[in-house]
């Protein structure tokens, strides 16, 4: 077993294609587009959140409904919060060098969470829950500013996830 068998990255720095389901892979691709459209030169955790909202799977959509939020409006608000008035950035790749340390941590922790639950791939809910439970989460902090705690965000996400696993 090599040092990379338990990591989410291939030797070339790309995210391993076998560690995400299709919905998560799409959310990660969308996060690249959101990083570019907000003029960041790397993918940050708010971009991951935007990617999850961009083409929400059924669970993320159910979470936004439980929260009482409109997915498109929430996405617009986060995009506006993290827009930088800067020169457009060159194309980014889904590669370790274009991901912030926090995004790398979220991806690794999400993969560990999936494995803890006996799943071979990261789901969008793994990413969402990890975004809310990581220390000093800027995504959770944005919600806290409007009175929604990270604990409440996580509680709603876990409830949606549990309902999905029962069906």
Instruction: Please state, in angstroms and rounded to a whole number, the distance separating the CA atoms of residues 114 and 118.
Output: 6
Residue 162: count other Cβ atoms within 10 Å of its Cβ: 10
The pLDDT of 92-114, averaged and rounded, is 94
Contact in structure between 143 and 149 (CB atoms under 8 Å):
yes
Q: Assign domain 21-166 one CATH number from 1.10.10.10, 3.40.1160.10, 3.30.70.1520, 1.10.1780.10.
A: 1.10.1780.10
Query: pLDDT for 142-164, tens place per residue?
Result: 999 999 999 999 999 999 999 98
Query: pLDDT for 76-101, tens place per residue?
Result: 999 999 999 888 777 788 899 999 99
pLDDT number for residue 88:
76
Contact in structure between 129 and 24 (CB atoms under 8 Å):
no
Instruction: Please state, in angstroms and rounded to a whole number, the distance separating the CA atoms of residues 52 and 129.
Output: 11
Query: pLDDT for 5-33, tens place per residue?
Result: 568 999 999 999 999 999 999 999 999 99
Query: How many residues are recorded in the chain?
Result: 167
Residue spans per domain, the chain: 21-166
Q: At 19, which helix (H) or strand (E)?
A: none
Indicate the pLDDT class of residue 1, thresholds 50, 70 and 90.
very low
Indicate the pLDDT class of residue 60, thresholds 50, 70 and 90.
very high
């Amino acid at each position: 077993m090599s040092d990379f068998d338990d990591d989410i990255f291939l030797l070339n720095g790309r995210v391993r294609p076998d560690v995400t389901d299709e919905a998560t892979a799409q959310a990660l691709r969308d996060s690249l587009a959101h990083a570019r459209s907000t003029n960041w030169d790397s993918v940050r955790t708010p971009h991951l959140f935007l990617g999850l909202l961009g083409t929400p799977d059924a669970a993320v959509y159910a979470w936004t409904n439980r929260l009482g939020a409109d997915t498109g409006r929430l996405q617009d608000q986060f995009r506006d919060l993290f827009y930088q008035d800067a020169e457009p950035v060159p194309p980014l790749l889904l590669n370790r060098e274009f991901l912030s340390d926090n995004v790398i941590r979220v991806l690794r922790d999400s993969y560990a969470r999936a494995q803890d639950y006996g799943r071979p791939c990261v789901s969008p809910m793994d990413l969402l829950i990890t975004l809310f439970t990581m220390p000093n989460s800027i995504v959770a902090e944005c919600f806290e500013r409007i009175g929604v705690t990270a604990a409440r965000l996580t509680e709603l996400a876990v409830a949606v996830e549990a309902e999905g696993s029962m069906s």
